[in-house]
Structure 1
Amino acid sequence: MVNLIIEAGLSTATLQEELAAMAGAAAESGVLIVGGDTKVVEHGKADGLYISTAGVGVVEAQPLSAESVSIGDKVILSGAIGDHGITVLLARGELDLAADIKSDSRSVWPMVKALIDACPNALRWMRDPTRGGVSASLNELAGDCGHSILLEEESLPVDRAVRGACEVLGLDVLHVANEGQFLAIVESGSADIALAALKSTPGGSRACIIGEVVESKKSPRLLVRTPYGASRVVDMLVGDQLPRIC
């Protein structure tokens, strides 16, 4: 289902372009758009066009849950992080900063399907690291499964421009929102099979293993091992995310 909130005065060409892009994305993912609604609001009230969606599906693979995550399981990331959040922040023009960065917004279904097909019984948990980024998703997982998560900082796929923007703005890239990536926890013995399946799928060339589930010495938490061998704790983001995108 798709709902369109259209600002009066929006050009027909812009609306047609968005609908064509939507149809293409749905076809690529094997999704049917079966209905929706439109609402026209006064000029200046909707920033051009707002789009909201809702979907219904059927769970065909084994259910995934934090309770099935065990010590030694590997953390897999589908691709580079931070692109979307930094793109939105720069596009708002509130900062005197420019960089050649594009949002990672895309369908992750082709990669998710490849992962499910390759190791259906070894897949424990999945999440898209949107608001709050990788940090929020993995901190929540640590609390739910009762184990800590240890990431290798050198294994994190971050583009140079994104890393530079984060350094200038004082942001931790693990807190920055993503739109076209996902995290997966996979049983250790099947991690290489899962990674190979992702890398052989269009858009999955930068998939990588970024860490593992480890025993908690105190309370479950997210840890990152630096290139120098020390570990730092990455807590949930306190206060509003920058940029606030949802």
Structure 2
Amino acid sequence: FLIHCSKQGYPLSSLKKIAWVLLSVSNKLDVAHSERISRSAVEYAVDHRARVYKQPVLKTQSRKSRLYLIHVVTEWLRFSGAMEELQERRNPVTDNIQSYIKFMRYERGLSPATISFRQSQVTHFLKSLKYARSLKAISIHDVDTYLASRGRHGWSRRSLHTLSDALRSFFRYAESRAWTHGIASAINSPHIYEQEGLPLGPTWKEVKQVVDSFSSSRTSDIRDKAIVLLLAIYGLRAGEVRNPSCNSAQATMHPALSIGS
């Protein structure tokens, strides 16, 4: 399966992640002796998988990770011919999605990872519109409502931006086939700032490491330690540290620690 994924263009980082997923669930799935493995068995294997290490995980991250794990295991079982496929009622827009997939694969030449991601995002969006029997019944209001709901579920601005791009690509293709009209150009993606991913400041653990580095009795270390504490604890600005005054210090510090006390 890993060789197959490699031939499909998956990068080494993705192959390592897939290998880790399969390793963590392998002891919960009896592929050799079971004729077919059901979706519920896959979910059980994922929920009871072996954990290499433990660390705090946000609920939003946990949900996304679980869906990714189920997706990887399901694709592996399908590749191995061991997945129990349910005969689902055909969705009216299934043909539209399949046509879009062929367009991405044969005309655009996109990677399997990109095709799989866009397919899953578009399918999830269309399934959320249970009343929609055709693409013509969908409006930009439906798209905006869906994006807003993803934001309320903890999606980051960058994730929403990627989702918007996927939906815009699908509706642009749909409009080229006259399945719908005027939606692609109306989809607005959240703005991504150049330095958005940078932290607002150091953590308190990092500040303590800096403070602890001034451990000698040298005058420079004593001075630098005091400067860092003034900046970190009392929130003084650089100018106030360079040119301290009793008024600014007393307004900032606790009365018991004010200059002159």
For Structure 1 versus Structure 2, the TM-score category normalised by the shorter chain is under 0.3
Structure with greater Cα Rg: 2
**Larger relative contact order (CA 8 Å, sep ≥ 6):** 1
Whose helix proportion is higher, 1 or 2? 2
- TM-score (normalised: structure 2): 0.25
Whose strand proportion is higher, 1 or 2? 1
